[in-house]
Amino acid sequence: MKQKIKNFMIIGIIIQMLTICSFGLYIGNESLIVNANTNEYNLYVNFVGEVDIGVGYKIRVENDRAYVSSNNGIEIIDIQNPISPSRIATIDEGEMGFDVEDNIIFTSDTNGLIVINATNANIPEIIGTSDAGNWAYNIRVNNTLVFGIASGDMDIYDISNLNSPVRVGQYLDTGRGNDIIIFGETAYYADPDEGLEVINVTDPSDPEKIRTVSNTYGAWDLYRNNELLYLGCHGLGFKVLDISNPTNPVVIRQFNDGGEVYGVCGNSSYVFLGDLQEGVEVLNYTNPTQLVEVASYVATPHDIEYRGNYIYLADQDNGFLLLELSNTEVEYSNDLSLYYGLVIIPIVVMKVIIDYRKKTKEKGLNN
């Protein structure tokens, strides 16, 4: 009788462990199904890697590095191995706005522009500061000029001498600027209160507003693809503008399913939206009549970049996320080790118990 009770106990333990394993695997697969969107276009956004840096704000990708601003400063992340990105260094300087060119980082604080040499990413070094200017929500480099966008202001710096940047001009606006793109001698200034403003920057010391483009209220983030300007609008979706006439942009397409488009980028085939409410949305741009959503990924992005087939996010909840656009759905979870552990550990434990009972039984027979 005692032996039967022991056998039932062992069987009960096995069933209990297998139940836990099944439940764990079920939860794991459920999370994967949520993240990898299935659709008729056979296009998917798959998880590749991540780095916990707290809240991510702005992102720039250059060669084998991603630069992300966070609550801690500007993070330099090694992305040579996409499935295992790693933080190289954190720069505790400047604000959330920054740009990068040839491993030189341009950021700012309340005193003005800061120039940082990150050629040696392990030991980034401040090599220049300006004596005038403001903190910047966003920064863009254009040849020998840097444009810093603060709330309602645009500071223009001459960086011909990286060791001694000089503020050469300023544009004061009644709204609150969030981003800027330069095309030739024209600047496109995203102001959510006013819309997309067109500014003549032929003379950097005296920038002059030309017009505000109609139907662009909520203008937040900008990306230029040749003579097309992609515009993310806060709470009002996404718009495409024809800028073949630089001083007179025209809205030619739009997409809006609600949410808050904080970041936008793309090419002639796809547009990538970083929507704080809707996540990553991939739009097909080749359809001549409308923008169609062809893939998505659940996230909370503040900014987005696209290189090759990889999508890079500065994310509110996940810090730095690295995703891949693919024709194959990949069920992947960074918690697979937990689920595998739930399977392997019970098997190992059961094997130990069975081997022990065999030896005990054999020993009893021999005696």
Q: What is the pLDDT of residues 192-224, one digit of tens each?
A: 999 999 999 999 999 999 999 999 999 999 999
Band of residue 151 on the pLDDT scale cut at 50, 70, 90:
confident
Q: Which of 20-29, 40-49, 228-237, 247-256 has the lowest mean pLDDT?
A: 20-29
**Which residue reads 């890697």 in tokens?**
49
* Amino acid letter for position 34: V
- What are the C-alpha distances in Å from 194 to residues 3, 31, 84, 151, 214? 81, 40, 42, 13, 9
Give the CA-trace dihedral at 315, 292, 308, 305, to 10 degrees: -30
Cα–Cα–Cα angle for 157, 142, 130, nearest 5°? 20
% of the chain surpassing 70 pLDDT: 79
Beta bridge partners of 292: 284
**Which residue reads 């296009």 in tokens?**
43
Per-residue pLDDT at 16: 55
- The answer on pLDDT for 341 being more than 60 is no
Band of residue 235 on the pLDDT scale cut at 50, 70, 90:
confident
- What are the C-alpha distances in Å from 53 to residues 39, 205, 207, 240, 331? 32, 38, 37, 32, 24
Mean pLDDT of 34-58: 81
Q: How many alpha carbons lie under 13 Å from residue 92 in its C-beta half-sphere?
A: 1
Mean pLDDT of 102-110: 95
Report d(CA 288, CA 290) in Å as an integer. 6
- The answer on pLDDT for 266 being more than 50 is yes
Give exposure, 31-66, as e/b (b: 16+ Cβ within 10 Å). Answer: bbeebbbeeeeebbbbbbbbbebebbbbbbbbeebb
Q: Which of 65-74, 244-253, 255-264 has the lowest mean pLDDT?
A: 255-264
